[in-house]
Amino acid sequence: MLEILFSAVIGYLLGCINFAYYYAKIKGGNIFAVGSGNAGATNVARCYGKAAGFAVGIADGLKIILAVITAQYIFPSANMAVWAAALFCIAGHIFPVQLRFCGGKGAACLLGAGLYLLPWQAIFILVFCFLILLLALKNYQKAGFTVMLCSPLVICVYTPESLPFWIIAVSLVVYSHLPKKVKFKIANTKDEFEQIAMLNYQTFVEEIPQHHANEKHILVDKMHAKNTYIIAKKGGQVLGMVALNEKRPFSLDQKIPDLDTYIPSGKRLCEVRLLSIKPQYRKGKILAGLIKAISKYVLKNGVEYLLISATTRELKMYRSFGFKPFYKLVGKEGAYYQPMMLEVLFEEANKWNH
């Protein structure tokens, strides 16, 4: 029992070494903020080139072999310990603790385990089936996934004692491929703040020319220290965000002379800023989720008025929420904003909370 536990720990720790994440870091990026947002070899290939993706995939396969070899060296007669090392290496790759359990999908790790641990007859049959399916489907991912799902039938024939471990390993990889739910939360990690700065840059530099471009492709808001960021997060990827700030001075203080003459006095105010959603998710439910999260914040903190600098391209949307202009347009050519205000009515805010 002790050898199984020790091998599992070794396997998990090696599995947590996420080469996709660290490769992107070396390149000055964040793997969660690009492509599909998955910390795996396929996303590296998509965003940094096929050679980089291939190298990361090879590294993922080799780390599980290293875990297995280590277990074999320490416990040469404990076959279950060897499979425990392999299984927990896959688990570590999918759920790395240092990345808050958001890792890759484990396919390369499973492939490495299969090539090293399975009998050559089983490997031959699985490779043959993969090539036939590849010719028929013209898609290596579909072919590989189909072979993986059918692989327990082959394992059952050639190495039945390994079947329970293999089924669990395949189940982990299948689980990692299932669609992930979008969560709405307050940003509180370094990685989340990095992605916020990148999304901020994409929206307010590349899309709306409000700020100057820079080589790092990040934009840290000047009021970052005061902001509370509500984010929409899927797996490890931030899909959308909005910043809330209750502390004066607001950004509108810098845009409107004597702002106090235009807003109610003695009321609890909150400025809503930096509403940004990745383009491919703007037609989904991300916006509604962020609004619901704002309403929860408003009700919890007793906010009475919301202030916003609304981009002119979305005035219709903000008016539909009940925001009303209270000052002339501010900003510059190509990046004009309409100062707007919304009185928070408990009944209306509570509707969004359900």
Task: Tell me the percentage of the chain whose pLDDT exceeds 70.
Answer: 97
Q: Does 135 fall in a domain?
A: no
pLDDT at 121 > cutoff 90? yes
Helix (H, G, I), strand (E, B) or coil at 62: helix
pTM comes to: 0.79
pLDDT single digits (tens) 223-262: 999 999 999 999 889 999 999 999 999 999 999 999 999 9
| Contact by Cβ (8 Å): 285, 339 | no
Same domain, 15 and 87: yes
pLDDT at 115 > cutoff 90? yes
Same domain, 15 and 108: yes
pLDDT at 4 > cutoff 90? no
Q: Does 150 fall in a domain?
A: no
Same domain, 164 and 44: yes
Q: Does 143 fall in a domain?
A: no
226, exposed or middle or buried, with CB in 10 Å at 0-12, 13-18, 19+?
middle
pLDDT at 204 > cutoff 60? yes
Same domain, 77 and 24: yes
pLDDT at 350 > cutoff 80? no
Q: Residues with Cβ < 8 Å from 300, sequence gap 6 or more?
A: none
How high is the pLDDT of residue 76? Answer: 83
Over residues 108-121, the mean pLDDT reads 93
Over residues 91-120, the mean pLDDT reads 93
Same domain, 169 and 193: no
Q: Does 92 fall in a domain?
A: yes
pLDDT single digits (tens) 52-86: 999 999 999 999 999 999 999 998 877 888 999 99
Using pLDDT thresholds of 50, 70 and 90, give the confidence band for residue 284: confident
Q: Does 296 fall in a domain?
A: yes
pLDDT at 34 > cutoff 90? no
Query: Domain ends where: 177, 212, 247?
Result: 177
Same domain, 69 and 201: no
Instruction: Report angle CA 229, 191, 209 to the nearest 5 degrees.
Output: 60
How high is the pLDDT of residue 169? Answer: 94
Low-confidence winner among 246-255, 317-326, 345-354 (lowest mean pLDDT): 345-354
pLDDT at 100 > cutoff 90? no
Helix (H, G, I), strand (E, B) or coil at 236: coil
Same domain, 222 and 102: no
How high is the pLDDT of residue 226? Answer: 93
Phi, psi of 92 (to 5 degrees): -65, -35
Same domain, 190 and 313: yes
Per the model's pLDDT, the better-predicted residue between 2 and 354 turns out to be 2
Over residues 213-218, the mean pLDDT reads 87
How high is the pLDDT of residue 252? Answer: 93
Query: Domain ends where: 132, 148, 177?
Result: 177
Q: Does 151 fall in a domain?
A: no
The domain spanning residue 209 has which CATH number? 3.40.630.30
How high is the pLDDT of residue 332? Answer: 81
Instruction: Report angle CA 106, 107, 109 to the nearest 5 degrees.
Output: 65
Same domain, 199 and 299: yes
Q: Based on the structure, what is the number of domains in the chain?
A: 2
Same domain, 108 and 187: no
Same domain, 164 and 211: no
How high is the pLDDT of residue 45? Answer: 93
How high is the pLDDT of residue 53? Answer: 93
Q: Does 153 fall in a domain?
A: no
Query: Domain ends where: 127, 143, 177?
Result: 177
Q: Does 222 fall in a domain?
A: yes
pLDDT at 352 > cutoff 60? no
pLDDT single digits (tens) 163-188: 999 999 999 999 998 888 899 999 99
Structural domain including 328 reads 182-352
Same domain, 167 and 221: no
